[in-house]
Amino acid sequence: MATNVKRNFYIKIFYTVMFVSPCFLLPAFVPLKAGALFPLYSFTMSPRIRRSRDAGICDISVTLGMQPQFIIIHQQVAPYVAHIQLNRPKELNALNLQLMSELRDALKALDADDTVRAIVISGNEKAFAAGADIKQMADKTAIDMLNIDQFSTWDAIKKTRKPVIAATSGFVLGGGCELAMLCDMIVASETTRFGQPEIKLGIMPGAGGTQRLTRAVGKALAMEMVLTGRMISAAEALQAGLINKVVPVELYLQEAVNLAAEIAEKSPIAVKLAKEAVLKAFDTTLEEGLHFERKNFYLLFASQDQQEGMQAFIEKRPPVFKGK
């Protein structure tokens, strides 16, 4: 039975590649150094998703339209895990307005997809993202920047309810560092360098570099990084509490996927509410935060996942969470 399902899955991919759109004439699978084969899907920002009978497998039917130019979506890199790859390698994944809009729309689509429970964002080995696209900003006036309102895109990304993990390597600078900090966790390769070098351009961070960095590493190191533009190594970032773990460069993406897969095994309802409660700690008092935490705790007792989790514990078996 499992063999037939697997064969049918690959047949669906074949027909999608051959007949849906010329833009799909790409390798169906991309081998990574970690040795995994990642299903590659590049889809528009209005996907229609047909649920498979197998949990964790989804077949993406594409609504014809403009393809994302600067991101690639790898769907189901592990059960219930999606991977978004920033794809401007010649520019070290500099974050222009179009890339950020595509990223926002991709996260919105994946956040609404029940076959996805955790999301990984990466760049490549040379750079997660080396900052904002300076060429796009250089001739702008204050009024131009106000009218563009580029930070509304960042605010939308922040609203993703599912856990988002940044897999970083190489340069993570300026807006790239701010994007990584916008994620819930960061897995870094040994070659990663974090920094907020905006001061060297006569400006300052504008997408969270002064606020999230300070909350993560403390005032002293944040002041040093923001006021001098100095980069810190992955080892320094780990010691300062900015990131979760450091791994060899050939393993950084797989390690992030493994972490996402571990989270995806849990109840998606509990994960969403727990993430919401942790983030609440940054914008409220302790008393209000505790009240919010208890409300979410009580709310979970209305879910089937709570019943399944506790019954599985009593029966000494692994739980099977369905997100209900």
- The residue annotated as part of the active site, out of 123, 170, 174, 175, is 175
Q: Is 132 a catalytic residue?
A: yes
For residue 174, how far is the Cα from the chain centroid?
17
- The residue annotated as part of the active site, out of 127, 132, 167, 240, is 132
User: What's the N-to-C CA distance of the chain in angstroms?
Assistant: 26
Please count the other Cβ atoms lying within 10 Å of the Cβ belonging to residue 8. 14
Please count the other Cβ atoms lying within 10 Å of the Cβ belonging to residue 40. 20
Burial of 63 by CB count in 10 Å (0-12 exposed, 13-18 middle, 19+ buried)? Answer: exposed
For residue 313, how far is the Cα from the chain centroid?
31
Task: Establish how many alpha carbons lie within 13 A of residue 132's alpha carbon, considering only the half-sphere containing its beta carbon.
Answer: 22
Q: Is 127 a catalytic residue?
A: no
Q: Is 276 a catalytic residue?
A: no
Q: Is 102 a catalytic residue?
A: no
- The residue annotated as part of the active site, out of 166, 198, 208, 309, is 198
Which amino acid, residue 64? L
- The residue annotated as part of the active site, out of 102, 106, 109, 178, is 178
Spatial separation of the C-alpha atoms in residues 279 and 284, rounded to whole Å: 10
Catalytic residue annotation: 132, 175, 178, 198
